[in-house]
Structure 1
Amino acid sequence: MKKKAFAATFAVLFTTNVPADTIGLYLGGQIWQSEASGLLAEQNTIGDFTLKKGQQNSYFIAVEHPIAILPNVRISSATLDTTSGTTHLTQEYNADNETAHVDVHADIDIDTNFNVSYVDYTLYYELFDNGSFSFDLGLTARDFGGAVIVTEDANIVTTSRDRIWDGEDHDDHDYHNVTETTETVTTDKIKTNEVEPMLYVASNISLPLSGLSLFIQGDFSLKDDQTHSDYQVGLSYELVDNRMMDFYLTLGYRAEKMEFEKLNDLYTDLEFKGTFVGVTVHF
């Protein structure tokens, strides 16, 4: 299904587009207050972590031009940086043999630092723009970087009850208890460095109030073995409108969902969502 969507996108891009009147340069950035939730793991061991809220930053630059056959270009970068609260696990087991009975109690604290960034390289066409409504369609190559760091602090208490034999009757014996405590700290780093193809869509609708508009933007994965969506919806208010530049304030909601079966041995089912505030400058 995604392959058909990919082919259809190319067909639309090269058959229908409305060029911009002049060359335009767009610069912008966002501060995104995101709340993270979900699962992540290395290989097939999935862990459920209570992830903390985090402040994410994103930036973009875009160039639009009047040459109909050539796509417009947009480059953006973003970070997804969050840590988990300490996840506490307890494990207990015992063993018994002819000479001793052994009890093992393990307290394990796991901390996770999800620090993944990416750069989007987007080629898109402005398929429709009548001044009040615009619609863009294109393709994005999302280049991942960063890593997930998992730190495990284990405190293991081993109690051995050694049998002390009394006389010749092995049924008569006492016990001698020996307790040993061991603490180990291990750190595992899972790097991410993969390029993911995505479908890019964007639209802007002017509202009756002067200088105010509604915008929608999203990227959606085209790979069959991954579910990855990144979309935002918000309001834009034009503070400055003159011959030199236009200056906009933006406010909205953004959500990114990442379900990866294997991204460089990283398995995830994560969602980042929350409100953002940003600015856009048009020259």
Structure 2
Amino acid sequence: MKKIFFAATLTALFTTNAQADTVGLYLGGQIWQSEASGVFGEESQLIDFNLKKEQQVNYFVAIEHPLPLLPNVRISSTTLDTTGNTTFLQEFSFGDEVFPDGETVDANFKVSYIDYSVYYELFDNSGFSFDIGGSVRSFMDDITIAGPPDFIDECTPIDIPNHCITNGESIEITQKGKIDTDELVPMLYLASQFNIPLTNVSIFAQGDFSLVSDHSLSDYQVGLSYRLIKSRMGDFNLTLGYRVVRMEFEDLDNLYTELDFKGVFFGAIAHF
């Protein structure tokens, strides 16, 4: 349902741009080499699963207009998808499954979110801009902990990993604990850009910060933007920067985290 809403919003943005010449449309994306560190689990047991460094792809669309009373709109999509593994030193519970001590498990950590932001441009001139507004972050999490295969009696292993055949049927026998979350979190949105005089280079900073006490979330980036193309049809910029996402969840559908994702990104922004 959220994907349908996201697609419908994008369509509305494009339609608005086609009908109003004074409206500016921004399309952008990033390739981000994120390195994960920290722990997650349930309330009394937070574990370091040695999450791997992974490449993520993020993108956004924004629309700005000259109407002073109406806010500008920005929608961005981020995915944090990584894996890891560890050996438990004590009994561990996750997603209604209990894993014994000494068990070696694989973790599949996938958190994606869409930010729906509205903001106002407090300053906007040829040298400096500053935006402030609010966001609603829509989380869609899927975290799975899987133990090793544990074949049961009279079950014959087959070529499919973690499956066997019993009574002529293939069954999965790997112990898995899984937590799915679906929650909306309000956040403060800030963005600023400073154009270096007599160059095509600008310095930018952007961030979202949680406004609720249950969770401590921050997502910010700083970097350089280089204007590669400037024409009557539009502009095209290349960006290089560093991004940090910090997630401290307190009982997000029984999920607790103290995690950081950080690393260098390369991106591009088109303005029409």
TM range (shorter): 0.7 to 0.9
The match for 1:78 is: 78
Rg: which structure is higher? 1
Instruction: Select the residue among 123, 137, 142 that pairs with 1:128.
Output: 123
The match for 1:267 is: 256
- Per-residue CA deviation, residues 33-66 of structure 1 (Å, 9 max, x unaligned), is 0000001003432112211001111110000001
1:136-147 aligned at under 5 Å gives the runs: 136-147=131-142
TM-score by length of 2: 0.78
Structure 1 pair 91/198, CA: closer, same or farther in 2 (3 Å)?
A: closer
The match for 2:44 is: 44
How many matched pairs? Answer: 222
Name the amino acid aligned to 1:148.
I
Instruction: Select the residue among 105, 108, 115 that pairs with 1:113.
Output: 108
- Per-residue CA deviation, residues 238-274 of structure 1 (Å, 9 max, x unaligned), is 0000000100000000000000111111100000000
1:13-24 aligned at under 5 Å gives the runs: 22-24=22-24
Q: How far apart, CA to CA, are the structure 2 residues paired with 1:91 and 1:201?
A: 43
- Counterpart of 1:193 in 2: which secondary structure? strand
Structure 1 pair 263/37, CA: closer, same or farther in 2 (3 Å)?
A: same
TM-score by length of 1: 0.75
Q: How far apart, CA to CA, are the structure 2 residues paired with 1:192 and 1:279?
A: 31
Structure 1 runs (4+) deviating above 4 angstroms are none
The match for 2:270 is: 281
- Counterpart of 1:192 in 2: which secondary structure? strand
CA contact (8 A) 2:33 2:55 kept: yes
1:170-189 aligned at under 5 Å gives the runs: 185-189=174-178
The match for 2:229 is: 240
The match for 1:13 is: none
CA contact (8 A) 2:127 2:197 kept: no
Give the % identical residues. Answer: 57
Instruction: Select the residue among 240, 251, 257 that pairs with 2:240.
Output: 251
The match for 1:178 is: none
Q: How far apart, CA to CA, are the structure 1 residues paired with 2:101 and 2:197?
A: 64
Q: CA deviation at 1:89?
A: 3.3
Q: CA deviation at 1:186?
A: 1.0
Q: Which runs of 5+ in 1 are unaligned?
A: 1-20, 93-104, 156-183
CA contact (8 A) 1:116 1:192 kept: no
The match for 1:89 is: 88
Name the amino acid aligned to 1:74.
R
